[in-house]
Structure 1
Amino acid sequence: MSEHANLLKRHRAVMPSWMALNYQDPIEIVGGKGNRVTDAEGKGYLDFFTGILTNMLGYDVPEVREAVERQLATGVVHTSTAYLLRGQIELAEKIARLSGIPDAKVFFTNSGTEANETALLLAAYARRSQQVLAMRQSYHGRSFAATGVTGNRAWTNVSFSPLDVHFLHGADRHLPQFAGMSDERYIDACVQDLRHVLATATGGDVAALIAEPIQGVGGFTMPPDGLFAAYKSVLDESGVLFISDEVQTGWGRTGQSFWGIGGHGVTPDMMTFAKGLGNGFAVGGVVARGDLMDGLHAVGISTFGGNPISMAAANATLDYVLDHDLQANAARRGATIIGGLASARERLPIVRDVRGKGLMFAVELGDPRTGEPSAPLAAAVMEATRERGLLVGKGGLYGNVVRMAPPMTLTDAEAVEGLGILIASLEAVNEEAAS
């Protein structure tokens, strides 16, 4: 039995069956350097999924490693938020300044799920309402309230929620009623639907709209730029708050703006963040208007949120992003890959769509005969890329999307290499599907 097969057998004996694993024969990653990783059987890969958008700078980055080692050397791994935490304060100062939110304050958590729970609590308390608006096809985490605002049945286990949630259009232009619409007409249709939802489905005050500028698990689907500005103009009429879920779109990854919501020309009341900020260390949080953050009357702490080790890693990671202008790098490398995939699409009938911004892009797969979404084709492309030495991810409402988010340190040579593997893999799967 191979090393991977033996570990998989042990995994299945003690881990939950619903815990998803990539690939028909799952792999263990045991080493990493730069933007490449090595599995337990010695095979190397260029990583285009980075632990689900988390290893934002790649692996074994000296600046991050040394910052963590300096903190470890002090002997202080944890104190809790009951004490002053210098690294937490320094990071909060940077994030508040970068957020663009007036009088911003920051609360740190351990994950995006916790961050979204916190933002929903702040909104519900401020507005004295448990009514929330969310987007169809969205994903916001695996906890009780977070699944309540998740608009994708594959990720929602129960039909009830502590929130009263109504789902909006905005990232579903594939639906027949929106076929052929320009961006302007689609935005207008969505805004009219929002007004109708507020007039018919809600009762009194609504707490907030929570939305991802680019839907992660949804397969990197996204609304046209300007939709959320149009939504916010309606929400502002009755004081409804806007929460931008930046767990996957933050820190310049889209190349277009430092926060994903920047593409819409609007400043939200709150933003949630996590994943890439710690470059592999657990960190999440909320940055919000000071009055919203200070509004809670009950005492609160976060035992592990903002801990010294994660703060050391996050400060070093954010400094690296800013010092090396990785937002600009994401724009350049993303243009190479997205442009190459878009050109190849014309001769690949299995490809329904190529989309993305910066180093956040996806290929949607469909049956070449019927055009219907095809999860098996997406799985086949994932296997083909792994065989050729490239790690990618998956998603989409129908499980038919291969989604990718390489490290923001990706070089031009690596972008060209990854693009070549992607196209070769798509060609191989396309040929097999046609036979």
Structure 2
Amino acid sequence: MTNLHDRHNAVLPDWLALYYSSPIELTHGEGRHVWDVDGTKYLDFFGGILTTMTAHALPEVTKAVTEQAGRILHSSTLYLNRPMVELAERVAALSGIPDARVFFTTSGTEANDTALLLATAYRRSNQILAMRNSYHGRSFTAVGLTGNKGWSPTSLSPLQTLYVHGGVRGRGPYAHLSDADFIAACVDDLKDMLGQTRGVAALLAEPIQGVGGFTSPPDGLYAAFREVLSSQGVLWISDEVQTGWGRTGDHFWGWQAHAASGPPDMLTFAKGIGNGMSIGGVVARADIMNSLDANSISTFGGSPITMAAGLANLTYLLEHDLQGNARRVGGLLLERLRAAAAGVECVREVRGRGLMIGIELVKPGTDEPAPELATAVLEAAREGGLLLGKGGGHNTSVLRIAPPLSLTVAEAEEGAAIIERALRGV
């Protein structure tokens, strides 16, 4: 019988990437572990691209989904939906945005599309500021903002996108500056950009760039940007698809590292809130959310079954202080990985916050990205029983480490030991 990989290649697009020279089929999971079709057990340090945020097969989420499935699976937004209202109330209160309104989507891509629709309608402009090395989804509109050529298949776009500096601290023309001078230079760049434009709608930015390799600016950069943007009425949209819900440990939202300016005008979320169920959304001030002068609905956004999962998952996360766990265990893991990478010539930097850690690899003795080494370490870690991710604006040369937020100290130590062996072996 033809194997699943061959069947995959026969009917799915060539550009649909698979990890590993021999791709694996995952059949089930529990806690921070998953198993493949051959029964091999892996410690999961990528969580389905930062989506299994709490744990695999979390009983509270499984129970909520099962019970809701027994009542009704679907109704659409044309009818009142109690789980959707309840989750919206909680997300609005947690967002920090005053007079917040919430619109649910099915993915982070769709959430960012919606935020861009709102911003361009509110400001009557299709000019959008984005960060270099950014990624906001795979839709036609979102790809038009992507500042990472590895994930941007076309230059065509309905938007006029203008790219500013600041998302990457350790590379580029300002890398040699102190944090304060780095922020000042990026602000000057922003002012120069705005001085040559007419009526920019919004800045869409990830507090920590996910696909870009877990890079981030110094704390306070977006607060400094906000002062400049607000003076011209330009909106700030924080893309919290990967940084939300306490993953960074220090904060519940990534924007809070830049909190001197207060909350953003809008934030987008997805991934972790559903713990694997398909949930995304936008939180915005009421005047922005209600600025659309046309009818709209969502067939699948706010589905009763996904909302039930989101409510159960959020409740578990808050009651068990998983943000605190991300801070404590993430800090230990980061320290352990930096020790493991010491003296390994191909490691340029180990960076991160909470349970969102990147290891950037280069060709030994140079500053040149080494995607082939990242692939080799990924393979070696898998052989050792650990699943990692890859990313980076320089040809996917960064190992991405983002386990479920319930990770234990023992599991962090185990994963770090596997990564150390993989790095030194490669």
Please classify the TM superposition score into its range, dividing by the shorter chain length.
over 0.9
Number of equivalent positions? 423
Q: Distance in 2 between matches of 1:364 and 1:149?
A: 24
Q: Which of 161, 182, 199 is residue 157 of structure 2 equivalent to?
A: 161
Partner of 1:254: 248
1:276 aligned partner, one-letter code? G
For residues 259-318 of structure 1, give each alpha carbon's deviation from its aligned partner in whole angstroms, at most 9, with x where no partner exists: 011111131000000001000000000011011111111001110000011001000001
Q: Distance in 2 between matches of 1:69 and 1:175?
A: 48
1:214 aligned partner, one-letter code? I
Partner of 2:81: 85
Q: Distance in 1 between matches of 2:117 and 2:172?
A: 36
Q: Report the alpha carbon displacement of residue 172 of structure 1 after superposing the two structures with TM.
A: 2.9
Unaligned runs of 5+ in 2: none
Q: Report the alpha carbon displacement of residue 179 of structure 1 after superposing the two structures with TM.
A: 3.6
For residues 107-151 of structure 1, give each alpha carbon's deviation from its aligned partner in whole angstroms, at most 9, with x where no partner exists: 000000000000000000010000000000000001111011110
> Is 1:58 the equivalent of 2:55?
yes
1:67 aligned partner, one-letter code? A
> Is 1:48 the equivalent of 2:45?
yes
Partner of 1:425: 422
Q: Distance in 2 between matches of 1:198 and 1:316?
A: 43
Q: Distance in 2 between matches of 1:160 and 1:62?
A: 45
1:263 aligned partner, one-letter code? A
Q: Which of 26, 44, 47 is residue 23 of structure 2 equivalent to?
A: 26
Judged with a 3 Å threshold, the aligned counterparts in structure 2 of structure 1 residues 310 and 176 are, in CA distance, closer, same or farther, namely closer
> Is 1:197 the equivalent of 2:193?
yes
Partner of 1:130: 126
Q: Report the alpha carbon displacement of residue 371 of structure 1 after superposing the two structures with TM.
A: 2.9
Partner of 2:205: 211
- CA RMSD in angstroms comes to 1.0
Q: Distance in 2 between matches of 1:276 and 1:98?
A: 15
Give yes or no for contact 2:360–2:397 (8 Å, CA) kept in 1.
Answer: yes
Residue range with higher mean Cα deviation, 86-95 or 64-73:
64-73
1:353 aligned partner, one-letter code? E
For residues 371-390 of structure 1, the aligned pairs below 5 Å read 371-390=367-386
Q: Distance in 2 between matches of 1:242 and 1:191?
A: 14
Give yes or no for contact 2:112–2:136 (8 Å, CA) kept in 1.
Answer: yes
Partner of 1:432: none
SS in 2 for 1:424: helix
Partner of 2:8: 11
Q: Which of 396, 399, 405 is residue 402 of structure 1 equivalent to?
A: 399
SS in 1 for 2:3: helix
1:223 aligned partner, one-letter code? P
Judged with a 3 Å threshold, the aligned counterparts in structure 2 of structure 1 residues 78 and 232 are, in CA distance, closer, same or farther, namely same
Unaligned runs of 5+ in 1: 430-435
Partner of 1:433: none
For residues 334-385 of structure 1, give each alpha carbon's deviation from its aligned partner in whole angstroms, at most 9, with x where no partner exists: 1111111112332111100000000000100001132311000000110010
For residues 39-68 of structure 1, give each alpha carbon's deviation from its aligned partner in whole angstroms, at most 9, with x where no partner exists: 011110000000000011121111001111
Partner of 1:188: 184
Q: Distance in 2 between matches of 1:70 and 1:173?
A: 47
Q: Distance in 1 between matches of 2:120 and 2:160?
A: 11
Partner of 1:274: 270
Q: Distance in 1 between matches of 2:149 and 2:367?
A: 22
TM-score by length of 2: 0.98
1:228 aligned partner, one-letter code? Y
SS in 1 for 2:227: helix
Partner of 2:239: 245
Give yes or no for contact 2:191–2:228 (8 Å, CA) kept in 1.
Answer: yes
Q: Distance in 1 between matches of 2:130 and 2:241?
A: 16
